[in-house]
Amino acid sequence: MIYPRLGVNIDHVATLRQQRGEFYPEVDRAAEVSLATGADQITIHLREDRRHIQDRDVSAVYEVCHKFNKPLNLEIGCHDEMINIAIAHNPQWICLVPEKREERTTEGGLDVMDPKNYEKVKKTCDRLKEKIPQTKISLFVEADAEVLQRCLTIKADAVEIHTGEYAKDFLQKKDLSFHLKQYRDGSKMIKARGWGYHAGHGLTFESLVPLLEEAEFEEYNVGHWIISESVFIGLGHVVKEMATLIKKYPLKGSP
Ligand code: PXP
């Protein structure tokens, strides 16, 4: 059986640390605990404003991932500085995200329908593929047919679907059928080209379940909820529970 992968986003361990300017809680320790308790990958977002993850965290987390033989998924915006850092670290995955200074968290996917943005994303992927060809790239986007079609013209390996709106609707007990249909349609289009189909943003233990039942996404990146719940039951327990949940739902077509 093949199951979806769980990427644990530990940005908010750094948020807590930066709040006080102390050395704790340690981000590399969070990576270690997550990988020891069932995470398949560690995700960190090095933002231009360095509000949580710092440059030194990238090497520290990379080392931990290397020790566990698990991938590091580095999220970056398409800025030269970030691209150079990513090239220097050579992570297994890079997820390209839009980044606005004033936003609280990543708001929506990359706007690849805008010609200027499209060129920026395309050029970033070309450069990454030239410099670190073994690194896989995912594009964080909305599950819109036109957007996905456009992504497929870029040199990347996967899309990560922005599940923020779905997650909000789930919490407000709204009808989810529109989102789920979009995700199913997107899956066909993306997988037909052999690309990876990932999901992330705003997900919780409970809002993960309808997506797991659909069995379309091969990877989930979950951060804020995991770190929040850790306050009550501890990071290792939260990761273990989520990893155990995911292992109940094999992927569609899995042998
Ligand atoms: N995936 C991407 C591309 C993101 O930017 C984020 C937030 O940094 C996440 C997943 C995780 O979102 P959340 O913290 O809401 O679980």
- Number of folded domains in the chain? 1
pLDDT score, position 101: 64
Residue 45 to residues 67, 73, 116, Cα–Cα distance (Å): 20, 9, 23
In a domain, residue 54? The reply is: yes
In a domain, residue 86? The reply is: yes
Across 21-36, average pLDDT = 97
Q: How far is the CA of 192 from the centre of ligand 1 (A)?
A: 26
Confidence at 207, pLDDT banded by 50, 70, 90: very high
Dump strand ranges (E) for the chain.
5-9, 41-45, 72-76, 93-96, 136-141, 158-162, 196-200, 219-222
In a domain, residue 254? The reply is: no
Task: Evaluate if pTM is beyond 0.95.
Answer: yes
Is the pLDDT at 102 greater than 70, yes or no?
A: no
- Decide which of 144 and 252 is more confident: 144
In a domain, residue 252? The reply is: no
**Cβ < 6 A, ligand 1 pocket:** 9, 11, 45, 75, 95, 97, 105-106, 140, 160, 200-203, 221-225
Q: How far is the CA of 106 from the centre of ligand 1 (A)?
A: 7
In a domain, residue 173? The reply is: yes
pLDDT score, position 100: 73
Is the pLDDT at 247 greater than 90, yes or no?
A: yes
What ligand 1 atom has the least distance to the C-alpha of 224?
14
What amino acid positions are annotated as catalytic residues?
45, 75, 201
Express each pLDDT in 112-158 by its tens digit.
999 999 999 999 999 999 999 999 999 999 999 999 999 999 999 99
CATH number at residue 242: 3.20.20.70
pLDDT score, position 131: 98
In a domain, residue 9? The reply is: yes
Distance (Å, rounded) from C-alpha 52 to C-alpha 41?
Answer: 19
Residue 75 lies in domain: 5-246
In a domain, residue 153? The reply is: yes
In a domain, residue 253? The reply is: no
pLDDT score, position 159: 98
Q: How far is the CA of 22 from the centre of ligand 1 (A)?
A: 24
pLDDT score, position 120: 97
Q: Are 71 and 41 in contact (CB under 8 A)?
A: yes
Sign of CA dihedral 227, 228, 231, 237: negative
Question: Using CA positions, which residue lies closest to atom 4 of ligand 1?
Answer: 201
What ligand 1 atom has the least distance to the C-alpha of 75?
3
Distance (Å, rounded) from C-alpha 129 to C-alpha 55?
Answer: 22
